[in-house]
Amino acid sequence: MLPNPAEAPAGRYTACDALLGALHESGVTHIFGNLGSDHAGIVQSLARAKLEGRPMPQVILSPHEGMALAAAHGYAQVSGQAQAVFVHVDVGTQNMGGGISNALHGRVPVFIFAGLTPFTLEGELPGSRNRSATYLQDVPDQGGIVRQYVKWDYSIRTGKNVPQLVQRAMQIAHSDPKGPVYLTGAREVLEEDVSPQKLPAAQWRPVEAAALPGDHVAEIARALLQAENPLLITSYSGRNAACVGQLQRLCERLALRVVEERPIHMNFPADHPLHQGYQAGALIGDADVIVVLDCDVPWIPSGKQRPRPEARIFYIDVDPLKETIPLWYMPSERFLRADSATALGQLNAWLDSAPPLDEARRAARLEEARGSHDKMRADWKRKAALRADGTITPEMVTACLNELLDADAIVVNEAVTNASAVFQHLPRTQPGTFFGSGGSSLGWAGGAALGVKLAAPDRDVVCFTGDGSFFFINPSSVYWCARRYQAPFLTVVFNNQGWNATQQNFKRIHGAGSPMDIGDCVSLAPSADFGGIAQAAGGALALTVQTAEELPGMLARALAATRSGQCAVLDVRLPGI
Ligand SMILES: Cc1ncc(C[n+]2csc(CCOP(=O)(O)OP(=O)(O)O)c2C)c(N)n1
Ligand SMILES: [Mg+2]
């Protein structure tokens, strides 16, 4: 704890200065903020820092808290660095909504700060209550609103140790499994005068990546060498770019097939012959050794495709217990808590000094995989072909977009029942070019795309939503922000005029042949003018595509607009559900 007078501004130095200074020190460059009466001291500190030319995180003023959190989520997915989200007491916390569940399940580090309503009534301390609303925002346990969804929550009790609290919060957020943290502070505490202090960042680093215990490296490597039909299933190992190369090396030397199950990241090059698509399906039942690498739900136990009872299953995961999911089990031979890049590096190193897999066996397996890879893709291609009746399919949209995008373009996916069209026809080949929310709360994609674009301003960013999801993204907030902060991206709305997922679930559970009309519960007709909403809020280019014929031209126009600084929303009219 070293006093650092050089950092001290002239005049007062409060807990707010300490909070903002510590965030800056810990690498936070952006505060996605929806500020209120609880943040009066924060606003003052930011203004004073600007006046005095002191570095501070940039405030991205976020008209809706859901967007703020989604943007911090997307930003951290690209950069690995937690950003800050500032929200207003209990009500702003509630307005973050399901986004907090996405950040937790997506294992994304986010630092959330919310004020607490003042705890003095009669001016006993600076910051005391001064408005009727401050009475209405007094709740018994504000942290309790999000406690199930954060890794850590705490309230600042004294301004004196704010830098330590920030560093602790950041250390927890950035340690695996990563996730959101939530800090609160009442106005009186934030107004406290404190002494500047600078903490040595090197002493607050995240916990080091965990490795596989030595014995198990050999055990897994041997099992893979001996296997006839090994399979690897992953969904988020690619969050660490280094893991992609390690995985490719392991798979090539063993002719190990890979399935990306509901991917949240780009994990393995989609054009690689060992890439076997996005549904393990029959491959699961055929496999004698299965490595599950960073995946929450590799198969559905009540589904048709399950591993054989005698299959050897090794679960390597940064979070193999899934502690945030109370009911969860995937019976496996071993559960190993390890960082996937480290674990694969260990397996590769062990295999480097072992006799290699018989080359004939390896080559035969690789050829077989290549055959199924090519066949699968040829089938997909047929689905993307033009229809005689001119109707648009989601596959056509993504295939057409694939022609226009570079390999480093970033895809943000919340396409719900049309997600497979995104997986199949926008094959990502470079790490860090694909993101999903990792959770189940719709409304992430718009804010996430904004955060992604802020973190990667030189790359094309395309986000996919359904028409139902578009309502959830708080579009007015998203497109307003995108214009104000010059973060243009393309949104493709798969508009099937309804909640297809809800309809499909009804059919799955209550029989496909049900004669009942459930339109009242799932239809979103008549369709909203999604592009018009974005245009009104943030001057976005609004395009509606009705026929397959006009699709290529409109996509090119929309993309060109984003490249010249304007958001574009392409409302793709699919056949209604
Ligand atoms: C915040 C939130 N509310 C409700 C749901 C339930 N839900 C899951 S899928 C879905 C329908 C989504 O509709 P749309 O985006 O149009 O995609 P489609 O199903 O038509 O492909 C709904 C309402 C959810 N997952 N998250
Ligand atoms: Mg829909």
DSSP per position, 341-361 = HHHHHHHHHHHHTSPPPPHHH
Sign for the pseudo-dihedral over CA of 452, 450, 441, 139: positive
Which residues contact residue 224 at a Cβ distance below 8 angstroms, ignoring those fewer than 6 apart? 230, 254, 256, 289, 291, 347
What is the spatial distance between Cα 415 and Cα 448, in angstroms, rounded to a whole number?
A: 13
Is the model's pLDDT at 281 over the cut of 90? no
Decide: pTM greater than 0.85.
yes
Please choose, from the candidates 536, 427, 525, 541, the residue with its C-alpha nearest in 3D space to the C-alpha of residue 491: 541
Residue 10: predicted pLDDT: 58
Taking the centre of ligand 1 as the mean of its atom positions, its distance from the CA of residue 499, in whole angstroms, is 6
Is the model's pLDDT at 9 over the cut of 90? no
- Whose tokens are 């504000």? That residue is 142
Atom of ligand 1 nearest to the CA of 418: 21
Compute and round to an integer the Cα radius of gyration of the chain.
Answer: 25
Q: What are phi and psi of 501, to 5 degrees?
A: -60, -40
Which residues contact residue 530 at a Cβ distance below 8 angstroms, ignoring those fewer than 6 apart? 467, 470, 475, 493, 495, 542, 569, 571
What is the spatial distance between Cα 256 and Cα 220, in angstroms, rounded to a whole number?
A: 13
The DSSP symbol for 294 reads S
Taking the centre of ligand 1 as the mean of its atom positions, its distance from the CA of residue 414, in whole angstroms, is 10
Which residues contact residue 569 at a Cβ distance below 8 angstroms, ignoring those fewer than 6 apart? 479, 490, 491, 493, 530, 531, 533, 534, 535, 540, 541, 542, 543, 558
Please choose, from the candidates 16, 15, 17, the residue with its C-alpha nearest in 3D space to the C-alpha of residue 7: 17
Is the model's pLDDT at 513 over the cut of 80? no
The DSSP symbol for 574 reads P
The DSSP symbol for 193 reads B
What is the spatial distance between Cα 448 and Cα 434, in angstroms, rounded to a whole number?
A: 12
Confidence of residue 489 (pLDDT cuts 50, 70, 90): very high
Beta strand pairing call for 312-317 and 410-414: unpaired
The bound ligand whose nearest atom lies closest to the alpha carbon of 417 is: 1
Residue 567 buriedness (CB in 10 A; 0-12 / 13-18 / 19+): buried
Which residues contact residue 386 at a Cβ distance below 8 angstroms, ignoring those fewer than 6 apart? 396, 548
Q: Region 51-65: what's the mean pLDDT? A: 96
- Least confident range from 227-231, 283-287, 368-372, 504-508: namely 504-508
- Least confident range from 7-11, 58-62, 120-124, 530-534: namely 7-11
For the chain, the distance separating the N- and C-terminal CA atoms, rounded to the nearest angstrom, is 61
Is the model's pLDDT at 91 over the cut of 60? yes
The beta strands (E) that lie in 434-507 are given as 434-435, 461-466, 490-495
Taking the centre of ligand 1 as the mean of its atom positions, its distance from the CA of residue 416, in whole angstroms, is 7
Is the model's pLDDT at 4 over the cut of 90? no
Which residue's CA is minimally distant from atom 18 of ligand 1?
500
Which residue's CA is minimally distant from atom 23 of ligand 1?
499
Confidence of residue 3 (pLDDT cuts 50, 70, 90): very low
Among 502, 571, 573, name the best residue to mutate to test ligand 1's pocket (greatest count of ligand atoms within 8 A of Cβ): 502
Taking the centre of ligand 1 as the mean of its atom positions, its distance from the CA of residue 368, in whole angstroms, is 38
Mean pLDDT of the chain: 95
Residue 455: predicted pLDDT: 98
The bound ligand whose nearest atom lies closest to the alpha carbon of 419 is: 1
The residues pairing with 259 across neighbouring beta strands, listed in sequence order, are: 233
Is the model's pLDDT at 277 over the cut of 90? yes
Find out whether 65 and 71 touch, Cβ atoms under 8 Å: no
Is the model's pLDDT at 468 over the cut of 90? yes
Taking the centre of ligand 2 as the mean of its atom positions, its distance from the CA of residue 545, in whole angstroms, is 15
Which tokens is 540 given?
Answer: 């976005």
pLDDT in tens, 158-197: 999 999 999 999 999 999 999 999 999 999 999 999 999 9
The bound ligand whose nearest atom lies closest to the alpha carbon of 441 is: 1
Residue 266: predicted pLDDT: 98
What is the spatial distance between Cα 402 and Cα 115, in angstroms, rounded to a whole number?
A: 45
Is the model's pLDDT at 1 over the cut of 60? no
What is the spatial distance between Cα 50 and Cα 46, in angstroms, rounded to a whole number?
A: 6
Taking the centre of ligand 2 as the mean of its atom positions, its distance from the CA of residue 279, in whole angstroms, is 22
pLDDT in tens, 99-114: 999 999 999 999 999 9
Taking the centre of ligand 1 as the mean of its atom positions, its distance from the CA of residue 102, in whole angstroms, is 14
Q: Region 398-402: what's the mean pLDDT? A: 97
Among 95, 96, 495, 499, name the best residue to mutate to test ligand 1's pocket (greatest count of ligand atoms within 8 A of Cβ): 499
What is the spatial distance between Cα 510 and Cα 504, in angstroms, rounded to a whole number?
A: 10
Confidence of residue 204 (pLDDT cuts 50, 70, 90): very high
Taking the centre of ligand 2 as the mean of its atom positions, its distance from the CA of residue 495, in whole angstroms, is 5
The residues pairing with 207 across neighbouring beta strands, listed in sequence order, are: none
Residue 83: predicted pLDDT: 98
Find out whether 297 and 240 touch, Cβ atoms under 8 Å: no
Atom of ligand 1 nearest to the CA of 467: 16
Pocket-forming residues, ligand 1, beta carbon under 6 Å: 98, 416-418, 440-443, 466-469, 472, 496, 498-502
- Whose tokens are 């009534």? That residue is 121
What is the spatial distance between Cα 489 and Cα 332, in angstroms, rounded to a whole number?
A: 42
Which tokens is 255 given?
Answer: 């002719």
Find out whether 259 and 232 touch, Cβ atoms under 8 Å: yes
**Stated length of the chain:** 577
Which residue's CA is minimally distant from atom 16 of ligand 1?
468
Residue 403: predicted pLDDT: 96
Largest CA distance in the chain: 84
Confidence of residue 8 (pLDDT cuts 50, 70, 90): very low
Atom of ligand 1 nearest to the CA of 524: 16
Please choose, from the candidates 192, 242, 428, the residue with its C-alpha nearest in 3D space to the C-alpha of residue 343: 242
Residue type, 391: T
Which tokens is 328 given?
Answer: 């969860």
Residue 12: predicted pLDDT: 87
Please choose, from the candidates 167, 178, 171, the residue with its C-alpha nearest in 3D space to the C-alpha of residue 104: 178
What is the spatial distance between Cα 431 and Cα 252, in angstroms, rounded to a whole number?
A: 18
Residue 437: predicted pLDDT: 98
